[in-house]
Structure 1
Amino acid sequence: MNTAVENHAAGQEQLPGEISKQTFVMKCGGSTLAELPEDFFAELAELQRGGYQPVIVHGGGPAISENLAKLGIETKFVNGLRYTTEEVLDVVEMVLSGSINKQIVRRIHSAGGRALGLSGIDGLLLQAKPVASSAKVGLVGEVSQVNASLVEGVLGMGYMPIVAPLGISPEGQRYNVNADTAAGAVASSLGVQQMIVVTDVPGILKTVKGEKKVLPCVTVQQIEDMIQTGEIYGGMIPKVRAAIACIHGKVKEVVIVNGTEPKVLGRVLRGEAIGTRIVRM
Structure 2
Amino acid sequence: MKVLVIKCGGSIIDELSPLFFESLKQLKRSGCQLVFVHGGGPDINTMLAKYEIEPVFEKGLRKTTDDVLNIVELMLAGKSNRSIVHKLTLNGINAIGLNGSDGKLLAGDFINEASLGAVGEINSVNTELLYMLLDKGLSPVLTPIAITEDGRKLNVNADMAAGAVAKALDAYSCLFVTDVKGVMKDGSIIEELTERQTQDLISEGSIYGGMIPKVETALSVLKKGINEVMIVSGKESFYNNGQFIGTKFVSEQEVMN
Q: Under a length normalisation based on structure 2, what TM-score does the superposition of the two structures give? A: 0.90
Q: 1:78 to 1:227 in 2, by over 3 A?
A: farther
Q: 1:159 to 1:31 in 2, by over 3 A?
A: same
Match of 2:131 in 1: 152
Q: How many residues are paired up? A: 252
Calculate the aligned-residue CA RMSD, in Å. Answer: 2.0
Counterpart pick for 1:177 among 138, 156, 167: 156
Choose between structure 1 and 2 for higher RCO, CA contacts under 8 A separated by at least 6 residues.
2
Tell me the CA shift for residue 193 of structure 1: 3.1
**Counterpart amino acid of 1:162?**
V
Which deviations, in whole Å up to 9, do the C-alpha atoms of 1:54-85 show, x marking residues without a partner?
11111111111111111211211111111111
Match of 2:10 in 1: 30
Counterpart Cα distance in 2 of 1:96 and 1:226: 34
Match of 2:51 in 1: 71
Give 3-state SS (helix, strand or coil) of 2:151's partner.
Answer: coil
Counterpart pick for 2:87 among 91, 107, 116: 107
Which deviations, in whole Å up to 9, do the C-alpha atoms of 1:240-268 show, x marking residues without a partner?
12222332544121111112223x2345x
Match of 1:197 in 2: 176
Counterpart Cα distance in 2 of 1:39 and 1:230: 31
**Counterpart amino acid of 1:71?**
Y
**Counterpart amino acid of 1:265?**
Y
Match of 2:190 in 1: 215
Tell me the CA shift for residue 43 of structure 1: 4.1
Tell me the CA shift for residue 164 of structure 1: 0.7
Q: 1:39 to 1:227 in 2, by over 3 A?
A: closer
Tell me the CA shift for residue 228 of structure 1: 4.4
Match of 1:124 in 2: 104
**Counterpart amino acid of 1:259?**
G
Which deviations, in whole Å up to 9, do the C-alpha atoms of 1:15-52 show, x marking residues without a partner?
xxxxxx72211111111111111342344345436643
More divergent stretch after superposition (68-77 vs 119-128): 68-77
Gaps in structure 1 of 5+ consecutive residues: 1-20
Counterpart Cα distance in 2 of 1:225 and 1:134: 36
Greater C-alpha Rg: 1
Tell me the CA shift for residue 276 of structure 1: 0.9
Counterpart Cα distance in 1 of 2:175 and 2:126: 21
Would the aligned equivalents of 2:3 and 2:170 in 1 still touch at CA under 8 Å? no
Q: Under a length normalisation based on structure 1, what TM-score does the superposition of the two structures give? A: 0.82
Match of 2:246 in 1: 275
Percent sequence identity over aligned pairs: 43
Q: 1:50 to 1:230 in 2, by over 3 A?
A: closer
